[in-house]
Structure 1
């Protein structure tokens, strides 16, 4: 149990306020069907290795779709420190500087930050030649509103958030669209909990700007704000760079100690 003493707390949704992974596997299976028959087994085998952290592609990396390269970045300044071909071969320093000079800007098509489980099957599918991943994403979203998909509520979460709200302003900031967010909050019994909800946030591209807007709106200092999420690039690194505190939800821990950063296996560790 830990105390959150902040005037403003910004929560992510997917992977933070619920923790299931069935939808990622469904997405992967849908993408697998688009891979050529002779490579479908290899596709899913590599995806399973990614989930276990036994593959070059992993949470925290960046995938360059056009060059089919897997990048290691400094999550604070967004400089690329190394780049590898799919087979693990490291590209030369000269190529690295030519391809990735300065801080990088991520998008959802070409230079993709692999911050959570959605992007593992995406990167794998792109490597195996799948051009259309979006229709599979939409199919997965449809699966998530069907009777076949169940989201488990985290015990005590609603009570924790309502208690936190008595002393802090709590905001939800997510890349999910408004319709999905409304449905998910209902299923999670979190309707009416957040006083401010930002949907379709397009993190990490707009994370800093949105945080700065919230700081101004709530008239707080950066050190009085905490960002809580499971995606280091989307929610944690931008917050730390602005002087916020951050709580990183990562069951496997984090490689290094960072000032103002707390790492927990689940949001339930916060209460």
Structure 2
């Protein structure tokens, strides 16, 4: 495992779920959203979210949530072809309906087709199903981010991460590529005691929609060939598949058993196992 990182000239880290692996804040986010539905829907709201977390619901991490059709879309992340669609209640679409609705490569966006790559998006999909507005999710998301930098919330530091980044920074370029806004990134890095350990911070990156473009920009800025770079993250759709398709190597942080086989891919249960 260490050779894939040791041999690289450029390491591109994700932030949420990568540099810290806590998940309690997802529940906090969901509780804020739950308060915005009517009392008779509150229990169903939470039960739906819990089933998503357990992977027993059609909408789950690794799927795409189709807001327009209130459906779970299964996509091959390496080809971007839709292979299956299931209604929110678990009814599978016919093959003809799938072909009629989704022809060619799927294009992710932040309006209709939402890549459920990590735990942030499960409360969001639950909220959309139960009739909340995107403004509700944005307000609750911002409130959660604010909560995460208070004394009430403590981030768990990955063992050995700070020391490893110090060592790696002296030998290669180490950058951060995240969808988070710059002020949130600075606060989180301060909380994790990782300030000053990255050569550059690329924020508000709009992954997965713009992942490939961002990766190309970073490679060009540092004069590095794709095979000399490693993308490190917990979100297969956002960070891993686009990198592999471009010829980069990748480290996928995934604590659960998963069947993905690629010569340039290494899967670890925690970032501590990769450094």
The TM tier, using the shorter chain, reads: over 0.9
Give the aligned partner of residue 117 of structure 1.
Answer: 119
Give the aligned partner of residue 63 of structure 1.
Answer: 65
Distance in 2, matches of 1:187 and 1:253, equals 30
Give the aligned partner of residue 194 of structure 1.
Answer: 198
Give the aligned partner of residue 91 of structure 1.
Answer: 93
TM-score when normalising by structure 2: 0.95
> Cα distance, 1:194 vs. partner?
0.2
1:82-231 equivalences under 5 Å are 82-131=84-133, 132-231=136-235
Distance in 2, matches of 1:87 and 1:259, equals 37
Contact 1:157 1:268 in 2 (8 A): yes
Give the total of aligned pairs: 271
Would you identify which runs of 4 or more consecutive aligned residues in structure 1 move more than 2 Å? none
Distance in 1, matches of 2:46 and 2:111, equals 21
Distance in 1, matches of 2:259 and 2:43, equals 32
Bigger CA drift: 236-245 or 148-157? 148-157
Distance in 1, matches of 2:204 and 2:85, equals 30
SS of the residue aligned with 2:114? strand
Cα deviations across residues 222-245 of structure 1 (Å, max 9, x unaligned)?
111110000001000100000111
Name stretches of at least 5 consecutive residues in structure 2 with no aligned partner: none
Cα deviations across residues 29-84 of structure 1 (Å, max 9, x unaligned)?
01111222212101111211221222221111000011101000010121111100
> Cα distance, 1:104 vs. partner?
1.5
TM-score when normalising by structure 1: 0.97
For residue 44 of structure 1, the aligned residue among 32, 35, 46 is 46
Name stretches of at least 5 consecutive residues in structure 1 with no aligned partner: none
Contact 1:228 1:235 in 2 (8 A): yes
Give the aligned partner of residue 247 of structure 1.
Answer: 251
Give the aligned partner of residue 236 of structure 1.
Answer: 240
Distance in 2, matches of 1:193 and 1:101, equals 44
RMSD over aligned Cα atoms = 1.2
SS of the residue aligned with 2:2? coil
